[in-house]
Amino acid sequence: MVGDIHGHFELFDLLLKDIEFDPTVDRMISVGDTIDRGPESERALYFWKQSWFYLVRGNHEAMLAGSADLLTGMSNLWMKNGGEWSFDVPESMLDEMAEMYDYLPYTISIETPHGNVGVVHADLPTHGNWTKLIKDLQKHKIKEKDLKTLLWSRDTYRKYRMSLEYGGAFKESFVEGIHKVYVGHSIVRNPVLFGNTMFIDTGAYCNGKLTAIDLMTEDVIIVQPKCNEYESF
């Protein structure tokens, strides 16, 4: 499982090397936001196509998919949020990504030795029940606002921040029907568990720190090359 890559595939390369990732047996799950802001967004498509790479849709993938028509508001929003790289790549690549986006799931559920875990890009709808969420998605009965929550919300993250500041008044909330839910989208200094929601976006694009979790062991792996490691040659 890997946090928001945001075009920093050089960090992702380092991660795969660090953990001795073996594509013939290992699988990697991304919490979304593989593109924008970093230097190599165009490499995302290669990984999207790999059979060992799974990702849930993030709000940045959504902005790409919604920007096919350059005159729409979504396109303006995308440009303000790091979508400029799209001017430097063939249109066919963007079309292919937009097409693939339609097949990206909102959620992924995985069996682990610790219990079933869920993955969603940003946050859970207010009912906080994984089973209900999956049922609603399968039956296409989910509300538009809940879909937006999955990709964009920072409500649980705000609650976490408030709990740091004000303590007990902002209690941890637990997502029912699942051992743990992994989310990206909201940057934390280090991966942190709030209730049973784990925030794993450590801000690859702004501080060069990419976090991964080994779902078999629940170990945390952090890739953050220091400048002096390059300078010491």
CB of 58 or CB of 82, closer to Mn ion? 58
User: Which CB atom, from 21 or from 47, has the smaller least distance to Mn ion?
Assistant: 47
Helices (H), the chain: 9-18, 44-48, 59-65, 73-80, 91-101, 130-138, 144-152, 155-166, 204-207, 227-231
Cα 34 → chain centroid = 7
Contact between 218 and 22 under an 8 Å Cβ cutoff? The reply is: no
Closest residue to Mn ion in the complex (CB): 185
In this structure, the number of other CB atoms found within 10 A of the CB of residue 66 comes to 17
Nearer to Mn ion, 56 or 178 (CB): 56
Report angle CA 50, 192, 23 to the nearest 5 degrees: 20
Closer CB to Mn ion, 19 or 98, in the complex:
98
Contact positions vs Mn ion (CB under 5 A)? 33, 58-59, 185
Residue 111 Cβ vs Mn ion, minimum distance, rounded to whole Å: 26
Nearer to Mn ion, 207 or 217 (CB): 207
Query: Tokens 């062991």 label which residue?
Result: 217
Whichever of 58 and 128 has its CB closer to Mn ion, that residue is: 58
Q: How far is CA 88 from CA 83, 84, 93, 94, 173, in A?
A: 10, 8, 11, 11, 43
For 67, other C-beta atoms within 10 Å of its C-beta total 21
Rounded-to-integer distance, Cα 187 and Cα 164, Å: 15
